[in-house]
Amino acid sequence: MEKAIRIGKLKKIDETSAKVLRHLSEKIGMSEEYVSYTDIAETLRLSRNAVKYAIERMHKDGILEIRDRKISLGDAVVEINA
């Protein structure tokens, strides 16, 4: 099965968001789970606030979905700003 990229949904994210998104995709995959900002921060050696703001930015941009304090990956395609 071929996958297509919808250019209209391409989102640019910063390096911190990219680290958090990579961690979330490895941890939760396509499921919907509660995740601890503190656990992510400790794993990635970032501050809890950096993780919180990165997740909030990605939620606002439609990259992540948050429902009942559970996070799942949205369907947006991302481009990492280097």
Which has the minimum average pLDDT: 2-6, 13-17, 48-52, 61-65?
2-6
How would you label 35-53 residue by residue, b for 16+ Cβ within 10 Å and e otherwise? Answer: bebeebbeebebeeebbbe
Query: What is the pLDDT at residue 5?
Result: 42
The residue type of 62 is G
Q: Between residues 5 and 66, which one has the greater pLDDT?
A: 66
Query: What is the pLDDT at residue 3?
Result: 45
Can you give the residue range of the structural domain that contains 44? 7-80
Q: What is the pLDDT of residues 17-63, one digit of tens each?
A: 989 988 988 887 767 788 889 999 999 999 999 999 999 998 898 88
23 occurs within a structural domain = yes
36 occurs within a structural domain = yes
CATH number, residue 33: 1.10.10.10
24 occurs within a structural domain = yes
- Helices and strands of the chain, counted as H and E runs: 3, 4
76 occurs within a structural domain = yes
Cα angle 1, 73, 69; round to 5 = 150
64 occurs within a structural domain = yes
